[in-house]
Every structure is written in C-alpha cells, then in structure tokens.
Structure 1
Amino acid sequence: MAADMSGWPGRVIVRIVLLSRWAMVPLFLGLAFALALLVVAFAARLWAFALQIFSLSETAVIMELLNLIDLVLVGGLMVIVIQSGYENFVEQIDRRQAPESPAWMMRISFFELKLKLFASLMAISGITLLKALMRLETDVSETQVRWLMAASVLFLAAYAVLAFTERFAGTSRRAE
C-alpha cells in the first residue's frame, strides 16, 4: 500500500505534464485567426494597390509588390508554425482524417522545420532590407540600414550554424 501512495504523486505529475500540451491549442487557434486577418490585410492592400497602379511611380510599384511579398512570406511562416507546431507539441494529425493535409507535413523532420523557419525569416529580413535601401534617400537612415544588414547577416550565420551542427550530429549518429 505504501508503494501505491508513493507512486500516485508521480503519476499525477506526469498526467498534468502530458495534459499541459493542450494549453497550446488556443495559441494555435489564435494564430489561425491571425492568419485570416492577414489574408484580409493582404486583400485590402492588393485592392488599394490596384486602384492606384496608374498613378504610382516605378519605385512605388516595386515597394507595393515587396509589401505584398512580405505579407505572403509571413503567412507562409504562420502556416508552418501552426501546422507543424500542433503536430510537434499537441498531437499527430491522422492523415486518413485529414487528406487535404500537405504531403510535406508527413515527411518533415524537426531539423527541416527549423531550416524552413530560418529560410522564411531570412527572406522576410532580405525584403525588409531591400525596402529600406529603396527608401534610403527619403526616410530611412544609414544606421537603420546597417542594423537591417546586421540582422540579415545574423540570420544567415545562424542558418549556417544550424545546418553545420545538424550535419555534424547526423554524421556522428551514423558513425555510432
């Protein structure tokens, strides 16, 4: 009987820890709602762009296109975080019950997920830097551009370190 009493607190703690993953569900649902808002923002921006297309300069057209691309990249990043986050932290998605689920979700590793996230962040950072460079003569300071360049280099370095460590870890796992 004493063994049962000493074991139940451990089982309760494990049960609480395992159930705590469900606290992530409202966060993923919130991101899904935010993604819907992003779609609305994209549509509004696209509509406004279409209405002024003939009065915009070439530079302004490029800036608007970069803004739209930026929104698309953020949306893609959100989809990756929502779907893979749910699958990694809450529960596996049964592919038989979700045939519309993308094929990449079934075969993506945690390392590949990190690479996709870093690639998205680097693309967003690159577009932000490009937009700043285009506005350099009007309303962006050289200091701001330097910080954006530093952030881009930092993302690139982190991406390289991540790829290197995964390759090194993969090589040592195969050697064992």
Structure 2
Amino acid sequence: MTPTRAIEAILYGGRWLILPVYLAMLGLLGILVWYFLMDLWHALPLLQNISEASLVILTLKLIDLSLTANLVMLVILAGYENFVRRGEFGDDARPEWLGKIDFAGLKLKLLGAITVIGAVDLLRSFLEVDQQSDRDLLWQIIIVGLFSVMALLFAVTDYITDSAHAKLHQD
C-alpha cells in the first residue's frame, strides 16, 4: 500500500470517530422522552380542573419536546447515513426520507425544525404573557425571525446552487 492510500484509508476510517456522538445523542433522545412522559404524567391528575389556556400551554410544551426529539432522531439517522455508512434497516423498517437527505438538505431541515421549535416556544410565551418580560418576548421574536431568514437564505442558496449545477450538466 502506498503512503497516499494509507493516509486516505486512515482519513476514510476516521468517519467512525463520530459514532460515539450519535450514540450519546440516543441518550439525549431518551432524556427528551423521559421529560415528555414526566410532563404528561404530572399533568394527568390535573386534567379535570385545568383551564383551556393551561391545556394549550401543556400541549405546546409536549409538541416542543416532540419536535426536539424528532430533530435529534433526524440528525442521528441522516448524519450516520451521510457520514459513516449506509444503514441496513431492511425495506420495511427504513424511513422513506432517509436516503434522500444530503448535507445541504440536513442543514435546511435543521434550520426549519429549529425555527418551528422556536415559534412553538414563542407561542407558548405569548400564552403566558403575564409571566414574560417585554424584553424576553422581543428577543424571542428576533431569534425566531433570524432563524426564519437564515432558513430562507439557505433554501435560496441551495436552489441557486442546484440550478447552476443542473445547467452545467445540461451543457
């Protein structure tokens, strides 16, 4: 084996170093599920006397945790598939979207999910407006707005890049 091939083999094999990160993220997913179940468990005895606003706030909190868990799962599966190796899940178990998300698509999905999570949290803050300072609400609005603009800019950039790439292959 030539030195160049040896270096390439080491670099290519180095992709496995990210595996502990994905495994740790599974632990994080377990923590999110735990929080979801505990929030639901603590709310069950209160459901008889809960106000509509409190029920909506609880629902938004659970949706927020669910979206965050989905985001973690997306990063684990798409990251593993894109950077480590193609998973062999079997035809029935393999999510349809899995082979279709490249790094650019993963960035867009991440920004979109973060924006939605921020928007859900902002909605929850508006429902609890009496417990929020104007400054905190303003910052939440600014952050959600910035993430929305960033997601839009990434989408436009990817569209332009894909269009230019397609045009090059047509010529």
TM-score between the two structures when normalised by the length of structure 2: 0.89
Alignment counterpart, residue 34 of structure 1, candidates 28, 36, 41: 28
How many pairs align? 168
Displaced runs of 4 or more, over 4 A: none
TM-score between the two structures when normalised by the length of structure 1: 0.87
Per the TM alignment, residue 37 of structure 1 is displaced from its structure 2 partner at its CA by 2.2
Alignment counterpart, residue 133 of structure 1, candidates 123, 126, 130: 126
Identity %: 29
Report what 1:164 is aligned to: 156
Alignment counterpart, residue 116 of structure 2, candidates 119, 123, 133: 123
Equivalent runs, 1:139-158 vs 2, <5 Å: 139-158=131-150
**Runs of at least 5 residues in structure 2 that lack an aligned partner in the other structure:** none
Decide whether the 8 Å contact of 2:15 with 2:84 is kept in 1. yes
Report what 2:62 is aligned to: 68
Report what 1:100 is aligned to: 93
Q: Which amino acid aligns with 2:13?
A: L
Equivalent runs, 1:2-21 vs 2, <5 Å: 7-8=2-3, 10-21=4-15
Report what 2:81 is aligned to: 87
Q: Which amino acid aligns with 2:159?
A: R
**Runs of at least 5 residues in structure 1 that lack an aligned partner in the other structure:** none
Larger-gyration structure (1/2) = 1
Q: CA RMSD in A?
A: 1.7
Q: Helix, strand or coil: the match of 2:129?
A: coil
